[in-house]
Amino acid sequence: MRDSLSTFVAPHPAALQFAAKTLLAGALALWCAFRFDLEQPQWALMTAFIVAQPLAGMVVQKGLARLLGTLIVTALSVLFMALFAQAPWLFLLVMALWLGLCTAASTLLRSAWAYSFVLAGYTVAIICLPITGKPLLVFDEAVARCTEICLGILCSMAVSAVLWPQRVEQAVVQQARAAWQGGVQAAAAALQGRAAGRQGLLETLGRIVAVDAQREHAWFEGSRGRQRARGLRALTRELLGLLRLARGAARQWQQLDQGQADGLRAWLDEVRTLLAEPDAQRQEALYGRLLEASQAPGQSLARQYCLGRLALVVRQLGRAQTALGAVERGEAPQDAPPPLSWHRDVQTAAVYGLRSCLTLLVLSAFWLATGWPAASGALLLAAVVCSLFASRENADLIGMAFMRGIFYALPVAFFVGQVLLPQWNGFPLLCLALGVPLFFGLLAMAKPALAGAATSFCLHFIVLCAPRNDMVYDVAFFLNEALAMLIGVGCAVLALRLIVLRNPVWHGRRLLKATLDDLARLCSRSLGGAENWFGGRMADRLLQLARFYPQLPEGGRSRWDDGIDSLDLGDELLHLRACLAAAPSAPRQAERRFFEEAGAVLRQGPAPTRGEALEAPAQAFARALRDQPPAVELSLAEAALLQLTHSWRHWCARQGENHGAA
């Protein structure tokens, strides 16, 4: 409670700037809408609040996404009304299917541009529902809504760029350095052993995913922002590579006997010291000494492989430092890889889309059965809530916060809209009456814990007051609108609560199946961009498994271990392919045959009886590698091959111990 009060009594300067910028953008949009005599100026004001973001690039990106979605849906609204206006049931069915399709698409896209699909889902309802009985007005309504929404977007973008501009590409530098430091620390922890490496793995992966998400916003902040966005893609690749190599070196260390480990302890300590305090000169010298030591004659293969892996860790640390420097200077590397990929689950997206579709169909039946005019408002609010939140895992909690914001808005909007505004005339007094409650709402929007309810409060306060040139003060209309809001949002929250996918065992199986498919594809996928492709997907899945881990029964908690084992296998595959690609000569035909056989084995998944499935193709490939002229890269490739088969045997052996065949 004390933290909530401090949001309004002693707000942070950044929150004050955000509130002032958004309020000024909304006032400018409202004044322009009045000046141009638009039909419903409140949509311009609402849009300025909807696209409000603390950083300039985020405002531009969200504004462009909303603008794109609005232009497309404007044309679709006219098409839907022209085709189905004479059959209300068919029209509402098509609109429900469209909402479900957009919800599913936004779930699959999982990027900042997913907002275009979110907007497309409910904008059809905004345009078509108020004129269901007057289809000839659809073109005028579509143009009016499009004009008002575009006006709000442009005003918000202009004010955000001029007044206290806070650029994403500047904040990205700090996030990139934090991600780099976390990656280096996680690599040092991984060298301590398997259990120690897991401790910071999730935190590091979360930071990498978070900084990659900001990359899309930085792209819209000029040339330097675009250069840093490309640099972030390279930094992501190098950090994932550093984690991969450090974890691989730790696995290789476990293959040493006690005497060999004691003999290499000084080298390991020196690498860990370098990770704790990176230094370019020490790094170059250590890399050279490790590489020379790995090639010394008369030593065991296990010792040679371990020294080679430690040398690669040191070299990768330098590459990560170079990538971080490029981000800080705003320089784009020439070999910037594709951005991070993410896990896509078509079945989950289909369920979320079906949830939105069913909610709208139930309310449509209620509307047609009762003939209540305000029921269209309930449909509209249900469409908005389903579009915005149906793809979220905690959608019901967010919906309840949205409902709480409506309850906050009702008494304030009644006092301002039905008591205060009838006695005040003129645009300045209108801004004063609306601006004071909205200012406090914006202060709460700047605090993440209060943002959901505060956003709902601001939007519904604007809807209930409905500022326009020909103001209408009608208590009965106000009460009908308020009741429609509660019914619409209540039905949406009920659907979000009842239709859920919260079976962690089923979800874990789905994640494992998708991971096995990716491991098989990694055997044939182009090596360029494979680090970000596989690393991004595995980071997403491990973060999901970590969220479900406390809900899993004791016998099913090995799904987390399955995720770690599959990450180990993918790391070894990437390392093996990278070594083969760097080798001066390699048996390409044997390489192609091995990866085809390995892909088939990995796609079938681990089982207690399949631990030796990789042995025969691995041994044949190892013999082909030994027939080639000696090279460091081929020695490292042979070590990766041995580690790959060992990790596969270990994963298969654990299946019988934990939960049976995958």
Same domain flag for 306 and 444: no
How far CA 394 is from CA of 48, 388, 401, 500, 516, in Å, comes to 26, 12, 11, 10, 27
Same domain flag for 466 and 582: no
Cβ–Cβ < 8 Å for 339, 531: no
Same domain flag for 484 and 402: yes
* CATH assignment of the domain containing 639: 1.20.120
The pLDDT-based confidence of 391 (bands split at 50, 70, 90) is low
Mean pLDDT of 570-591: 88
Residue 604 has pLDDT above 70, yes or no: yes
- Which of 456, 432, 431, 426 lies closest to 444, judged by CA? 456
How far is Cα 514 from Cα 343, in angstroms, rounded to an integer? Answer: 8
Fill in the DSSP letter of residue 641: H
Q: Range with the lowest mean pLDDT among 161-165, 358-362, 401-405?
A: 161-165
Residue 5, domain member (yes or no)? no
> What percentage of the chain exceeds 70 in pLDDT?
91
Question: Last residue of some domain: 477, 498, 519?
Answer: 498
The pLDDT-based confidence of 31 (bands split at 50, 70, 90) is very high
Structure confidence by residue, pLDDT tens digits, 507-558: 778 888 888 999 999 898 888 888 888 888 888 888 777 766 555 555 555 5
3-class SS letters over 508-562: HHHHHHHHHHHHHHHCCCCCCCHHHHHHHHHHHHHHHHHHHHHHCCHHHCHHHHH
Residue 1 has pLDDT above 60, yes or no: no
Give pLDDT, residue 587: 85
Residue 209 has pLDDT above 50, yes or no: yes
Same domain flag for 278 and 244: yes
Give pLDDT, residue 197: 46
Query: What is the b/e burial string over 1-17, where b = at least 16 CB atoms within 10 angstroms of the residue's CB?
Result: eeeeeebeeebeeebeb
How far CA 83 is from CA of 72, 76, 137, 231, in Å, comes to 17, 11, 14, 48
Structure confidence by residue, pLDDT tens digits, 341-362: 888 888 888 888 888 888 888 8
Question: Last residue of some domain: 498, 528, 550?
Answer: 498
Same domain flag for 251 and 158: no
Structure confidence by residue, pLDDT tens digits, 466-498: 888 777 788 888 888 888 888 888 888 888 888
Return the residue matching tokens 């449909």.
379
* Length of the chain measured in residues: 662
Residue 101, domain member (yes or no)? yes
Residue 657 has pLDDT above 70, yes or no: no
Residue 118 has pLDDT above 70, yes or no: yes
Mean pLDDT of 219-226: 72
The pLDDT-based confidence of 628 (bands split at 50, 70, 90) is confident
- Which of 165, 159, 177, 170 lies closest to 225, judged by CA? 170
How far is Cα 584 from Cα 588, in angstroms, rounded to an integer? Answer: 12
573 phi, psi to nearest 5 deg: -65, -45
Residue 259, domain member (yes or no)? yes
Cβ–Cβ < 8 Å for 482, 411: no
Return the residue matching tokens 């962690």.
504
Residues 6+ apart with CB under 8 A from 636: 305, 308, 309, 312, 575, 579
Residue 394 has pLDDT above 70, yes or no: yes
The pLDDT-based confidence of 2 (bands split at 50, 70, 90) is low
Residue 195 has pLDDT above 70, yes or no: no
Q: What is the DSSP string of 92-104?
A: HHHHHHHHHHHHH
Give pLDDT, residue 62: 67
Same domain flag for 434 and 579: no
The pLDDT-based confidence of 169 (bands split at 50, 70, 90) is low
CA-atom Rg of the chain in angstroms: 29
3-class SS letters over 124-147: HHHHHHHHCCCHHHHHHHHHHHHH
Mean pLDDT of 58-70: 71
Give pLDDT, residue 356: 85
Put residue 164 in one of left, alpha, beta given phi > 0 → left and psi -120 to 50 → alpha.
left
How far is Cα 144 from Cα 127, in angstroms, rounded to an integer? Answer: 9
Same domain flag for 155 and 173: no
Q: What is the DSSP string of 15-41?
A: HHHHHHHHHHHHHHHHHHHHHTT-S-T
Residue 338 has pLDDT above 60, yes or no: yes
Helix, strand, or coil (residue 299): coil
Same domain flag for 206 and 158: no
Helix intervals (H) in 192-257 = 194-199, 201-218, 222-253
Residue 196 has pLDDT above 50, yes or no: no
Q: Would you state the structure tokens that stand for residue 79, as one six-digit string?
A: 């098409």
The pLDDT-based confidence of 168 (bands split at 50, 70, 90) is low
The pLDDT-based confidence of 597 (bands split at 50, 70, 90) is very high
Number of domains in the chain: 3
Residue 375 has pLDDT above 90, yes or no: no
How far is Cα 302 from Cα 642, in angstroms, rounded to an integer? Answer: 10
CA 51 from centre of chain: 18
Top mean pLDDT of 116-120, 195-199, 252-256, 615-619 is at: 615-619
- Which of 243, 217, 224 lies closest to 328, judged by CA? 224
How far CA 305 is from CA of 287, 415, 633, 643, in Å, comes to 14, 76, 11, 10
What is the end-to-end Cα distance of the chain in Å, rounded? 47
> Is pLDDT larger for residue 658 or for residue 50?
50
Task: State the virtual CA torsion across 626, 629, 632, 637 in degrees, nearest 10.
Answer: -40
Give pLDDT, residue 469: 79
The pLDDT-based confidence of 658 (bands split at 50, 70, 90) is low
3 phi, psi to nearest 5 deg: -65, -40
Residue 661 has pLDDT above 50, yes or no: no
Residues 6+ apart with CB under 8 A from 418: 473, 475, 478
Residue 22, domain member (yes or no)? yes
How far CA 438 is from CA of 257, 337, 542, in Å, comes to 68, 44, 40
Mean pLDDT of 630-637: 85
Residue 322, domain member (yes or no)? yes
**Residue 568: Cβ-neighbour burial (10 angstroms; 0-12, 13-18, 19+):** buried
Give pLDDT, residue 512: 84
Same domain flag for 53 and 109: yes
Question: Last residue of some domain: 474, 498, 522?
Answer: 498
How far is Cα 342 from Cα 532, in angstroms, rounded to an integer? Answer: 9
Tell me the pLDDT of the chain averaged across its residues: 82
Domain of 153, in residue numbers = 14-166+345-498
Same domain flag for 141 and 174: no
> Is pLDDT larger for residue 548 or for residue 186?
186
Q: Would you state the structure tokens that stand for residue 379, as one six-digit string?
A: 């449909």
Residue 334, domain member (yes or no)? no
Structure confidence by residue, pLDDT tens digits, 416-469: 988 998 888 888 889 999 999 999 998 888 887 788 888 889 988 998 888 887
> Is pLDDT larger for residue 217 or for residue 433?
433
Residue 7, domain member (yes or no)? no
3-class SS letters over 618-629: HHHHHHHHHCCC
> What percentage of the chain exceeds 90 in pLDDT?
10
- Which of 491, 227, 517 lies closest to 346, judged by CA? 517
Same domain flag for 65 and 106: yes
Cβ–Cβ < 8 Å for 634, 578: no
Same domain flag for 289 and 302: yes
Residue 336, domain member (yes or no)? no
270 phi, psi to nearest 5 deg: -70, -40
How far CA 70 is from CA of 37, 65, 96, 145, 153, in Å, comes to 20, 9, 18, 9, 11
Structure confidence by residue, pLDDT tens digits, 313-330: 999 999 999 888 888 888
